[in-house]
């Protein structure tokens, strides 16, 4: 590892200790991933950090080709013991907000260290607002367009989730030496991962 990257990793670890440097060739983008968003996820079209407002898999592949190194950032979220399957993602929303703020902080730290291309990505639908601006527009029957992502209230912090951009997060984590697994109970500890593209 070159000295610059070594110094950067120390700086990033001062923000959040649990992160791992990976070559971007370990990141897998697959066209099937957004089927899981489009069919079966109630957040599809309801958050600006989710499809159809996020980069398509083709756009993601093209963007990733401009990077060689990235860091995967690991977080743990303990769900509310009263959580139900229907509200499983809401049960960890505080942890998602913490992750989103930390990913933004890491992106900024990398940028200020000279990694001017730094770009953060999250996991899960954005939880920064109680109701996303897009949800409010839909309630008022206002027309919604792909470019409505410009209406986000928290542009400095909000970044799309990896899966929303077509990244196969499971395969990527396995390639990086993690051991992701499917959770079968909404009360199990959740591992969340963010990604910072570096250079
Ligand atoms: S920050 Fe608020 S407005 Fe922006 S995507 Fe998240 S929930 Fe929606």
Looking at the chain, the whole-number percentage of residues with pLDDT higher than 90 is 71
C-beta neighbour count of 54 within 10 angstroms: 24
- Give the domain ranges of the chain: 3-197
Closest alpha carbon to 69 in 123, 29, 18, 117: 117
Over 80: is that where the pLDDT of 91 sits? no
49 CA closest ligand 1 atom index = 5
Mean pLDDT in residue range 57-79: 96
Over 70: is that where the pLDDT of 184 sits? yes
Over 90: is that where the pLDDT of 69 sits? yes
Over 70: is that where the pLDDT of 84 sits? no
Average pLDDT of the chain, as a whole number: 91
According to DSSP, the residues that pair with 72 across neighbouring strands are 20, 195
Kindly report the backbone phi and psi dihedral angles of residue 74, in degrees, each rounded to the nearest multiple of 5, phi listed first. Answer: -100, 135
Give 136's pLDDT tier (boundaries 50, 70, 90). Answer: confident
pTM, full prediction: 0.92
Instruction: Give residue 146 CA to ligand 1 midpoint distance, Å.
Output: 14
Angle between helices 93-112 and 3-15 (to 10 degrees): 150
Q: Please list every protein residue whose CB sits less than 6 Å from any atom of ligand 1.
A: 47-49, 126, 128-129, 132-133, 152-154, 158
Give 120's pLDDT tier (boundaries 50, 70, 90). Answer: very high
Mean pLDDT in residue range 64-76: 97
Cα R_g (the chain), whole angstroms: 17
Question: Phi-psi bin for 55: left (phi > 0), alpha (psi -120 to 50), beta?
Answer: beta
> Which sign does the torsion angle of CA 150, 156, 48, 52 carry?
positive
Distance between first and last Cα of the chain: 13
Instruction: Give residue 55 CA to ligand 1 midpoint distance, Å.
Output: 16
Give 86's pLDDT tier (boundaries 50, 70, 90). Answer: low
Over 80: is that where the pLDDT of 89 sits? no
């Amino acid at each position: 590892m070159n000295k610059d990257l070594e110094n950067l990793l120390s700086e990033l670890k001062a923000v959040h200790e649990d992160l791992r440097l990976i070559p971007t060739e370990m990141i897998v983008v697959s066209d099937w991933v957004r089927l899981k968003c489009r069919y079966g996820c109630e957040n599809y079209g309801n958050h600006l950090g989710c499809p159809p407002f996020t980069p398509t898999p083709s756009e993601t592949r093209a963007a990733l080709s401009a990077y060689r190194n990235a860091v995967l950032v690991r977080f743990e979220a303990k769900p509310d013991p009263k959580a139900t399957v229907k509200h499983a993602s809401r049960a960890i929303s505080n942890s998602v907000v913490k992750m989103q703020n930390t990913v933004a902080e890491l992106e900024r730290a990398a940028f200020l260290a000279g990694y001017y291309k730094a770009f953060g990505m999250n996991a899960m639908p954005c939880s920064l607002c109680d109701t996303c601006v897009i949800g409010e527009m839909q309630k008022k029957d206002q027309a919604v367009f792909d470019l409505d992502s410009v209406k986000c209230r928290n542009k400095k912090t909000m970044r799309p989730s990896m899966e929303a951009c077509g990244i196969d997060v499971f395969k990527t984590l396995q390639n990086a030496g993690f051991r992701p697994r499917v959770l079968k109970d909404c009360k199990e500890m959740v591992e969340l991962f963010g990604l910072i593209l570096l250079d």
